[in-house]
Amino acid sequence: MSTNIQSTIASYQAKQGPLLEVKDLQVDFTTDTGKAVHAVRHSSFSVYPGQWVAIVGESGSGKSTSAMAVLGLLPGTGHVVGGSIKLDGQEIAGISQKEYDKLRGSKMGLVPQDPMSNLNPVWRIGAQVKEALQANNMDISKEKRSKLASALASEENSVVDLKTEEDELFVGSKDLPALLDAAKKALEDAGSKHVEEEMNYFRDEWVPGSQTRWRVAKDLIDAGVSDDSAWTIAKKHVLGSTMEDRISGLLSEAGLPDAATRARQFPHEFSGGMRQRALIAIGLACRPDLLIADEPTSALDVTVQKRILDHLRTLTDSLGTSVLFITHDLGLAAERAQHIVVMYKGQVVESGPSLEVLQHPQHPYTKRLVAAAPSLASQRIISAKERGEDADALLEHKIADESALAKSEHIITVEHLTKEFKLPRKKEMFKAVDDVSFSVKRGTTLAIVGESGSGKSTVANMVLHLLEPTSGKITYEGRDTSEFNAKDLLDFRRHVQPVFQNPYGSLDPMYSIYRSIEEPLRIHKIGDKKWRANRVKELLDMVEMPSSVMGRYPNELSGGQRQRIAIARAMALEPDVIVCDEAVSALDVLVQDQVLRLLNDLQAEKGLSYLFITHDLAVVRQIADEVVVMQHGRLVEHATTDEVFDHPQRQYTRDLLDAIPGGKLKLGLD
């Protein structure tokens, strides 16, 4: 961003004041017994036009509740009991739902956390974008620009002055062919030496329902066409878009390729990243002044997360949209937002410019967040190595060197593993895993990393004998698992246990915590009832959970607590190997840090081997001895953790490392 634009924004912010101003906010929930639970207490923060503000904190800290209070979408018995919420100078705390309906969409937009829960599974994506436009009576033929965007337009694009509202008309699909023909002729008449190159640029940029008349004129002028000729072409051929154009334009802006086709698809036909892009398109459809993004990328791959947030930044900058960004990752917050608000137990405990909060945290809780964030821990290790210092002290897990790994006994070996699936309506088979080989050494951790769809979870399921390989061999302690009979397989499952990503999905909601942990012991006929009860207590103590939780159910525990129960259950049979499939990806950084410490401690005490499946290389740095990198079903890199981080061989690996949130921040931590 140029200095001129920055100064324009700064002066505009100073003149207009905060877009959103929250003072002494108090939000209560009422229990079944009528008792008030104070979810948010005396919290204050502001968001200025064009600014990104991040609210950071663990689950239950009040960050999402604060955001929902601003939107007037508090769930259940939640209600604002005190304080002030002003949007563009207007008090909105306590207004009616009908008045809120007028503000949502047009003034405030939302990108929620879980796209599958927030997209209607029986509606096509295009229909859901259309609903947002129609509900807010949007003029789909022309752009709606914020006051800030209009103020910046002349600064950013001094060649083109906004003249009238008609300059905001969108390119229409029916007018596009004639527009391109006219543009080509104008370039030839102007004597351009790069006609085809410029035309390729126009074809990419002039998206129906997205590109405006004044942008078309500017592109032509930048390509060497005279001002008068450029404006004549733009006014003649840019006449406004249809609803279908606008839907495709919004999806294209959100980063979805082949948007017109995608608009006709259903949510289940989209990947997680594509669904999140669709939600961004819906959230920005009505060009709100304020966009609230509530953990919009927490369950996504780091590379997809980076692409989506990069694109969201580009969109919001061009539109002049302010963003209230809710996240639990302080590294991600500091990288993306200009200002950070830290919440703890319903209160704002620290607030300030991002780098200042990151580099000089004042509150003990903020210091804990900084210390626990894997992304920042990874950066501290890199910084220490650059200074020539010993980085081992910064690692919770002492990584085994190559000579130690070479001497280690192989407990699980995977040889030339391949898995093919039959896809509906297609003749050819889909190869999810393609000729993968590696081994897990006793007492060490092997991490398999890659984006969604890389085949890493499929490999894990084949190792666990939950999927049959198409070809290849898996051996456990030298024995081919495909030759196991029922008795051998039962013994194998006793020694190789899984911990899955979603503990609520892997723990039976109808089983008490006691029964969930005790069940493997009962199935394998280990001990009597009294012995098993004592064993469950021991396991709960091992994962630092009180024995009082035995009578509770999974829905009564937090995500981190449920994951501890899942680990306790996996440890019940004293396994040799634990397969962790994205076991910490959905957890808050503090809980994530606790679970990783627990896994490290258990490995040190019990000599466990881990097969750790993840997309997050920052986590890998904290726990793994070796790393296998997978892309499109193939193994593309295999080395020690230090070697992968210090000397990545493939561009794909470098992209994964580059996508670590906060990886490029200058820490200088206190």
Q: pLDDT digit string (tens) for 637-651?
A: 999 988 998 889 999
Distance of CA 153 to the CA centre of its chain: 31
How does residue 158 score in pLDDT terms, banded at 50, 70 and 90? very low
Count CA atoms closer than 13 A to 33's CA, side-chain side: 3
Residue 86 pLDDT exceeds 70: yes
Average pLDDT of 320-324? Answer: 88
pLDDT at 308: 79
Task: Go through 122-139 and write b for each residue having 16 or more CB atoms within 10 A of its CB, e for each that does not.
Answer: eebbbebbbebbeebebe
Residue 359's closest CA among 330, 328, 393?
330
pLDDT at 439: 93
Which pLDDT tens digit goes with each residue over 195-218? 999 999 999 889 999 888 988 998
Residue 335 pLDDT exceeds 90: no
C-alpha 611/C-alpha 634 separation (Å) is 17
Percentage of the residues of the chain whose pLDDT score is greater than 70: 87
How does residue 446 score in pLDDT terms, banded at 50, 70 and 90? very high
Average pLDDT of 598-626? Answer: 86
Find the range with the poorest average confidence among 413-422, 455-464, 506-515, 586-595: 586-595
What is the amino acid identity at position 624? A
How does residue 621 score in pLDDT terms, banded at 50, 70 and 90? confident
C-alpha 464/C-alpha 139 separation (Å) is 55
Tokens found for residue 242: 């249809």
Residue 306 pLDDT exceeds 90: no
pLDDT at 382: 52
**Tokens 């002030």 — which residue?**
84
pLDDT at 112: 86
Decide which of 535 and 152 is more confident: 535
Average pLDDT of 389-393? Answer: 52
Tokens found for residue 265: 């698809």
- Inter-residue contact 669 to 343 (CB < 8 Å): no
Percentage of the residues of the chain whose pLDDT score is greater than 90: 40
DSSP string, 641-670: HHHHHHS--SHHHHHHHHTSTTTT------
Number of Cβ within 10 Å of residue 258's Cβ equals 10
Tokens found for residue 378: 């990874």
What is the amino acid identity at position 205? E
pLDDT at 161: 54
Radius of gyration of the chain (CA): 28
pLDDT at 506: 80
Report which listed range, 31-45, 323-337, 468-482, is most confident. 468-482
Find the range with the poorest average confidence among 120-129, 216-225, 497-506: 497-506
What long-range pairs does 175-179 form, CB within 8 A, spacing at least 24?
175/237, 175/238, 175/239, 176/206, 176/208, 178/237, 179/206, 179/216, 179/233, 179/237, 179/238
Residue 4 pLDDT exceeds 80: no
pLDDT at 598: 82
Which pLDDT tens digit goes with each residue over 243-281? 999 999 999 888 888 888 889 999 888 877 788 889 989
Residue 335's closest CA among 355, 352, 351?
355
Residue 388 backbone class (left: φ over 0; alpha: ψ -120 to 50; beta: rest) = left
How does residue 453 score in pLDDT terms, banded at 50, 70 and 90? confident
- Inter-residue contact 48 to 102 (CB < 8 Å): no
Average pLDDT of 419-435? Answer: 83
Number of Cβ within 10 Å of residue 550's Cβ equals 18
Which pLDDT tens digit goes with each residue over 355-371? 888 888 899 999 888 87
Name the DSSP class of 172: P
Sign of the dihedral through C-alpha 24, 30, 31, 36: positive
Beta bridge partners of 85: 22
The CA-CA-CA angle for residues 93, 98, 103, to 5°, reads 65
How does residue 669 score in pLDDT terms, banded at 50, 70 and 90? very low
Decide which of 373 and 295 is more confident: 295
How does residue 394 score in pLDDT terms, banded at 50, 70 and 90? very low
How does residue 583 score in pLDDT terms, banded at 50, 70 and 90? confident
Average pLDDT of 337-350? Answer: 93
**Tokens 């081997």 — which residue?**
609
C-alpha 615/C-alpha 281 separation (Å) is 25
C-alpha 537/C-alpha 514 separation (Å) is 9
- Inter-residue contact 19 to 88 (CB < 8 Å): yes
**Tokens 């990783």 — which residue?**
596
How does residue 106 score in pLDDT terms, banded at 50, 70 and 90? confident
Tokens found for residue 524: 């394998």
Record the pTM: 0.78
How does residue 2 score in pLDDT terms, banded at 50, 70 and 90? low
pLDDT, averaged across the chain: 84
Decide which of 526 and 617 is more confident: 526
Do the strands 410-422 and 471-476 form a parallel or antiparallel pair, or are they unpaired? antiparallel
How does residue 159 score in pLDDT terms, banded at 50, 70 and 90? very low
pLDDT at 663: 64
pLDDT at 5: 62
How does residue 238 score in pLDDT terms, banded at 50, 70 and 90? very high
pLDDT at 162: 52
